[in-house]
Amino acid sequence: MITKLRTAAAEESGFTLVELLIVIAILGVLAGVVVFSVAGIQDNSQTTACKTEASTVKTAEEAYYAKNKSYATAAQLTASPNKLLGSTPTMITIAVTAANAAATPPVPASYALTYVDPCTGTP
């Protein structure tokens, strides 16, 4: 009986400590790669959100101009009866310049969009 137990114990195989440490090291490297990849995805999504909001505001400005022959502030774009934007833009500021017909040559009305934090630059 004891001989059978000794033979069974001698034939058992398992992982050594070195093999387990190698597997843990490989998993650690893979986890590190995933963490840095996810950070890059978040940066790309923020940039895309800023560009999308800028595009939406530009479309609303042009629709307002087509109807009223002037450009609008953010408050005018979100107020009734126009309601061209569902809410005030959070990543864009709008600067409206009135037309100056008395200038030589006449200066048409215009608007400028500027990104606010966390976006940067001009759309």
- Are 18 and 25 in contact by the 8 Å Cβ rule? The answer is no
List for the chain the helix, strand, coil content (%; round to 5).
55, 10, 35
pTM, to two decimals? 0.63
Strand partners, 95: 112
pLDDT at 36: 80
pLDDT in tens, the chain (123 residues): 777 767 766 666 778 888 899 999 999 999 988 888 776 666 677 888 888 999 999 999 999 889 888 888 888 888 888 788 988 888 888 888 888 778 777 778 888 888 887 777 667
